[in-house]
Structure 1
Amino acid sequence: MPSNISSSPLIEIQNLRKVYQTPAGDFTAVNNIDLEVQRGEFVAIIGKSGSGKSTFINMITGIDRPTSGEIIIDGAPVHSYNESQMAAWRGKNLGIVFQFFQLFPTLTLLENVIFPMELNNLYTKNERKERAMALLEKVEMTQQAYKLPSAVSGGQQQRVAIARALANDPPLIVADEPTGNLDSKTATKIFSLFEDLVASGKTILMVTHDSDLARRVNRTVLISDGEVVNEYLVRALSKLNQDQLVEIARHVKPQTFPSGANIIREGEVGDKFYILLDGKTDVYIKEPGGSELVVNQLERGQYFGEMALLGNGIRTATVKASAEGPVSVVALDNEAFNRLIADSRTLREELTSIIEKRNIYNQLQAISSFNQITLAEILKQMKPIQYESEHEIIKQGDVGKTFYLLLDGQVDILVKNEHGEEVRVNQLSKGAYFGEMAMMGDKRRQATVRVSKGKFAKVIELTAEEFEKLTESSAEFKTHVQKVAGVRKKEIEGSSKRKVRK
């Protein structure tokens, strides 16, 4: 066996077709599906009744035969096997979990788990029992081992069915609606078992109608009319239901942009929403001098262009196909996009959240080039805070434990003069930051920061630890902050004798 077999996909499917002959003519159930599944992946197969997903799974398990195409599993060309070859291969390489458990009613739970080992002549008699008990322990069913299936609940029967599927230690588990006959609480427990199996190295294909469970797996494959809907379209719009995804897939066609080509330009009117299907794009914003600064890179399964459609209609950044190669995208026009978010409140909420995070990301990258992983980690759970007119954000003399980035709005920087009167020494707007002086040695706040009268201020707040991570990730940012802090210190020192203007 080649030494690189462990790094190759476990499942390779090419041009898979299944055509049934009916009195009304040929019916194509599966049409030219191409798919790869890597080792250790947890993949959900979803689709409406009649979509072709059951036929697709049946061809993988050998229950049905393809009309044409290839199915290679762990190096084995299973599409070419006859019935006896398929049965022998399946017994050692594939575990199947059914919706209705399919346990033998006259065998005990222990005997049900032993049965596949006996059928395939694996292990000695003593080893079979030891292994079966170990598997029942894995699914927390050892105390029920000698009971018949009828004596335990549906959820417990499914646990035993999973143990049976693992009996011969197959690399691949196929689960056909494994939670479809269970209540939600039991279904969650069964799903957790699958997650544990994937963590231990198993590969799982799970057919499911449960959209919530489908979102928790590594990948979701949506089948419609016998074809796979582009995975990266599904990933980008994971908040949509199957009908919405299929509807979009039917009405959009991929566009290709060569390396370096502009897809959208900063300052232009935005009338489309883009989903990246293949390749990478670079995001640029203009610096004060007019030069372009790269602030982000997007990969397949991500989207862009939503900021103009949900905002004032003007593009806030330029997006170009990366120098690494061409990109493939699909575009939704304004009308289709608005219809989409009107039908999906969760998608609108997600887009709004993404816009906030991208604004923060772009503003920070405009100040300095940060380590993208560090920046993404810090911003992951961060939510903007909005303060209204004349709200006091920090107060002179207080101990400072936070650093602020001003996303939008306007704030006044105020200090008390020698007469105890407040004097405004500066005014900050979108893209500025404050609170850095207390982070860099002066533990107490050297000034008060208050939202300007008649204005608002939207900020994000970083802890001292998060601020330190940022400065450590970028020497340029650290230098920038030190320089700004030095200028502000001089402003504050010069204000002590300044009088309040009447």
Structure 2
Amino acid sequence: MKSLLDLLKTKGPRDAREGAESNLFTTAFASKLAQGQSAVPWEARAVEVAATRLPKSRGTRLLQSVWAQDPYMSHLSSDRVDRMQRFFAFATISPNRDLIRQDEYGSFMIVLLSGTIGVDRRQPWGEHLRLAETRPGDILGEMSLLDSGIRFSTCTTLTDCEVAVLSAEAMDEMMEHDAPLAASLVALLARKLSLRLRVVSSRLSDNPHG
């Protein structure tokens, strides 16, 4: 993660460097496709779950509101969140739709703006474990966005939900056009992810079948 942050901090607007560094996130997912493993982009998942476009004005307002109440994301000023909103897609999704599925590669993360999403993991012995029921402001799928790895769990809407979505392509665009903003976001995501992994690890270790 340190090398990634160093790259983000030193990368200026419209950096002229070519190759993998110019598309840091999308290049990682492209390598998975080259290996015959399928990465699921948000555009495909949005069609599958019949997502409805949410007006950007409402989405931005909700994003600023939920992040202002988050102990980590509140470090982003309203001005920076406003600058960030152009890189997000905003959508409304009905209940009982899988936005993220365990064991797939996915090239996007989700910020829950309203509603509730269930986070479940299918254990190797077949048990389905409910890891969490999220609340507005929670972020899902950022691990796969940052490391291009396999999804750890399935995230299903339990109610009507409004979400903000950041894709790997949009993250690369943010790096290209506003590197300091991208660096701030990645650093905060890493902190939140570390905390979540500790919580999930404790939850799994408490399971008698673990």
Sort the Cα spacing of 1:248 and 1:327 in 2 relative to 1 into closer, same or farther, 3 A. Answer: same
Q: 1:273 aligns with which of 109, 133, 138?
A: 109
Q: 1:296 aligns with which of 132, 148, 173?
A: 132
Question: Alpha-carbon deviations, 1:216-235, whole Å to 9, x = none?
Answer: xxxxxxxxxx9894233453
| Pairing 1:141-160 to 2, within 5 Å after superposition | none
Gaps of at least 5 residues in structure 2 are 1-56, 68-72
CA apart distance, 1:346: 3.5
What amino acid maps onto 1:307 in structure 2? M
Q: 1:282 aligns with which of 109, 118, 131?
A: 118
Question: For 1:299, what is the secondary structure of its paired residue?
Answer: coil
Task: Give me the whole-angstrom Cα distance separating, in 1, the residues matched to 2:153 and 2:58.
Answer: 35
Aligned counterpart, 2:193 = 355
Question: For 1:352, what is the secondary structure of its paired residue?
Answer: helix
Aligned counterpart, 1:328 = 162
Task: Give me the whole-angstrom Cα distance separating, in 1, the residues matched to 2:64 and 2:102.
Answer: 24
Normalized against structure 1, the TM-score is what? 0.26
Sort the Cα spacing of 1:228 and 1:347 in 2 relative to 1 into closer, same or farther, 3 A. Answer: closer
* Structure of greater Rg: 1
Sort the Cα spacing of 1:286 and 1:245 in 2 relative to 1 into closer, same or farther, 3 A. Answer: same
User: Over aligned residues, Cα RMSD in angstroms?
Assistant: 3.0
Normalized against structure 2, the TM-score is what? 0.58
Question: Alpha-carbon deviations, 1:410-462, whole Å to 9, x = none?
Answer: xxxxxxxxxxxxxxxxxxxxxxxxxxxxxxxxxxxxxxxxxxxxxxxxxxxxx
Q: 1:307 aligns with which of 136, 140, 143?
A: 143
| Pairing 1:231-246 to 2, within 5 Å after superposition | 231-236=62-67, 237-246=73-82
Task: Give me the whole-angstrom Cα distance separating, in 1, the residues matched to 2:137 and 2:192.
Answer: 14
Question: For 1:301, what is the secondary structure of its paired residue?
Answer: coil
Task: Give me the whole-angstrom Cα distance separating, in 2, the residues matched to 1:301 and 1:309.
Answer: 17
Question: For 1:290, what is the secondary structure of its paired residue?
Answer: coil
Task: Give me the whole-angstrom Cα distance separating, in 1, the residues matched to 2:60 and 2:92.
Answer: 18
Tell me if structure 1 keeps the 8 A contact 2:115–2:135. yes
Q: Which structure shows the bigger proportion of residues in strand conformation?
A: 1
Tell me if structure 2 keeps the 8 A contact 1:273–1:305. yes
Aligned counterpart, 1:263 = 99
Equivalenced residue count is: 145
CA apart distance, 1:306: 0.6
Question: For 1:285, what is the secondary structure of its paired residue?
Answer: strand
CA apart distance, 1:279: 0.2
Task: Give me the whole-angstrom Cα distance separating, in 2, the residues matched to 1:296 and 1:313.
Answer: 21
Gaps of at least 5 residues in structure 1 are 1-225, 369-476, 485-502
Sort the Cα spacing of 1:228 and 1:349 in 2 relative to 1 into closer, same or farther, 3 A. Answer: closer
CA apart distance, 1:363: 2.2
Is 1:343 paired with 2:167? no
Sort the Cα spacing of 1:337 and 1:239 in 2 relative to 1 into closer, same or farther, 3 A. Answer: farther
Tell me if structure 2 keeps the 8 A contact 1:232–1:300. no
Larger RCO (CA under 8 A, 6+ residues apart): 2
Question: Alpha-carbon deviations, 1:121-168, whole Å to 9, x = none?
Answer: xxxxxxxxxxxxxxxxxxxxxxxxxxxxxxxxxxxxxxxxxxxxxxxx
Deviates more, 1:340-349 or 1:226-235: 226-235
Task: Give me the whole-angstrom Cα distance separating, in 2, the residues matched to 1:309 and 1:251.
Answer: 14
Tell me if structure 2 keeps the 8 A contact 1:271–1:313. no
CA apart distance, 1:327: 1.1
| Pairing 1:197-212 to 2, within 5 Å after superposition | none
Task: Give me the whole-angstrom Cα distance separating, in 1, the residues matched to 2:58 and 2:129.
Answer: 41
Tell me if structure 1 keeps the 8 A contact 2:117–2:155. yes
Task: Give me the whole-angstrom Cα distance separating, in 1, the residues matched to 2:58 and 2:100.
Answer: 31
What amino acid maps onto 1:356 in structure 2? S
| Pairing 1:464-483 to 2, within 5 Å after superposition | 480=208
Sort the Cα spacing of 1:289 and 1:228 in 2 relative to 1 into closer, same or farther, 3 A. Answer: closer
What amino acid maps onto 2:160 in structure 1? P
What amino acid maps onto 1:361 in structure 2? V
Aligned counterpart, 1:316 = 152
What amino acid maps onto 1:363 in structure 2? S
Q: Which structure shows the bigger proportion of residues in helix conformation?
A: 2
Sort the Cα spacing of 1:356 and 1:269 in 2 relative to 1 into closer, same or farther, 3 A. Answer: same
Tell me if structure 2 keeps the 8 A contact 1:287–1:366. no
Tell me if structure 2 keeps the 8 A contact 1:267–1:314. yes
